[in-house]
A = this chain, B = another copy of it.
């Protein structure tokens, strides 16, 4: 692959995220940019905003795929906002446009993206995110990471393999 790797960052999209999650998101975005990968996200608030902010501070490129009909509501750190008008269904476009994803905590929207990613055979690196259990067995498809560095390193390794 000689195009730039695209890493999706998914997580809580509200501004209710905790200070540690703000820092982790920003750090993940920064390390993505430092490794010359493109950040893909949903373009709105919370984890998406701070990850995009981190990427921009490191001079990276950010794509935000919005649920809305116009690009006016993208957060200010999005270079390339894409308006869809599809509502929640835009989540699947975030997944389709990521070579690999990093999930930072997150709620049901994030879970829908994790599920779509696994369905499409894409890897999700998890930072304190959902664990999937099925009939008491833990599903191993989410690759755990403990730090932003580890998460992005694993994501890059997988995307370039």
Contacts and interface: CB of A to CB of B under 8 A. Distances in A.
Interface string A132-146: 111110000000000
A107 B87 CA distance: 24
Given A86-B86, A133-B131, A96 B118 contact: no
Interface string A40-63: 000000000000000000000001
Interface in A63-104: 63, 65, 69-71, 80, 82-89, 92-93, 96-97
B108 A118 contact: yes
Number of copies: 4
A130 B119 CA distance: 14
| Interface SS of chain A | mixed
A130 B134 contact: yes
A85 B96 contact: yes
A136 B129 CA distance: 10
Given A97-B82, A133-B133, A87 B69 contact: yes
Given A83-B93, A130-B134, 5 more contacts: A82-B93, A83-B97, A88-B92, A111-B114, A112-B116
10 contacts: A70-B96, A83-B97, A85-B86, A86-B86, A89-B93, A107-B119, A108-B118, A109-B115, A111-B119, A130-B133
Interface of A: 63, 65, 69-71, 80, 82-89, 92-93, 96-97, 107-109, 111-112, 114-116, 118-120, 128-136
